[in-house]
Amino acid sequence: MTAMSRLKIQVSGDTGHMDNYCAALRSIGAEPLAGYCPAPNPNCGGLLLCGGGDIEPVRYGQPDRGSQPPDLARDKAELELFQVFHRAGKPILGICRGMQLINVALGGTLIQDLPQEQKAFHCGGKADMVHPLRALEGSVLHMLYGPVFSVNSSHHQAVDALGKGLRAVAWAESGFAEAIDCPGLPLLGVQFHPERMAFGRHRLDTVDGAALFSWFLGVCQGDVSAFSEMPGLFSDKA
C-alpha cells in the first residue's frame, strides 16, 4: 500500500504521548493524523482516542471523588470529536481513557478511583500489570482472542453505569468492564493498551495487540467479511 493510498485515521491524545499508537497504525498500513485537541478531519476514515488523564467528573454529573486534575481543553475537544465521528457512522476505537470518554459521551459514568472506592488495583506504578479478561461470546474480542485471554493494565478509573446503547463485552476478574461496544455500530472501547502489546512491543504474557489494530483498520476500510459474528454492523450504510 503506497503512502498516497493509505487510509487516514485521526488520532487524538496528549502531546508527546501518541508515538506508540501511531507506530501501531503505521505497522498495519494506515496513516495516522495525530494531534492534541484536533478539529475533526473529514478526510479520515476512523478515529482513535488515546489513553491519558482523567475526565472532569462534572462531565458525568459527579463531584470529584479521587479523580486526577483534568485537562478541560482535551475533554471538550475529544467529546466534540467523538460526536462528529459517531454521527457520521465512522469507526471509533477508544483505548483506556478513550474507552471512558466514549462511555461519558453517551451518558455513562465512571468509578473515579478504583483503589479508594472499590479496593481494586489495576495499575502497577511504572510497569503495566497483567491480568485475564473474560470476553462475551460473539464479541470482537471473543472473535480475536477467544473466551479468556490476558492483557496489560494501567488504570485507576473504570466504567460504571453504561452509556446509551453500550454494552460490556469483556470483564476483569474483579468484575469491572474492560471493553464496551455498541451493537450494530463500528464502535469499540478497551481499557487495556494494545499499542503496548503489539509489533516491537509485543510481549509473551499477553495476547498480541496487533490483531485488534488490524481489525480496526478493516472496519475503517468497510470490510465486513471478517465480522460474521457481529450482525448489524454497517447495516445503516447503503
Catalytic residue among 50, 96, 182, 220: 96
Judge whether 12 and 81 are in contact, CB under 8 Å.
Answer: yes
The answer to whether residue 193 is catalytic is: yes
Rounded to an integer, what is the distance from CA 111 to the centroid of its chain?
A: 17
Catalytic residue among 142, 182, 195, 220: 195
- Count, in order, helices (H) and strands (E) of the chain: 6, 11
* Dihedral angle sign, alpha carbons of residues 208, 126, 117, 162: negative
The DSSP 8-state label assigned to residue 68 in this structure reads: P
Rounded to an integer, what is the distance from CA 232 to the centroid of its chain?
A: 20
Distance CA 112, CA 54 (A): 8
CB atoms within 10 A of CB 207: 22
In DSSP terms, 93 is beta-bridged to 48, 188
How are beta strands 46-49 and 8-12 bridged, if at all? parallel
The answer to whether residue 155 is catalytic is: no
How are beta strands 148-153 and 158-159 bridged, if at all? unpaired
Distance CA 30, CA 221 (A): 10
The answer to whether residue 96 is catalytic is: yes
Q: Which residues are catalytic?
A: 96, 193, 195
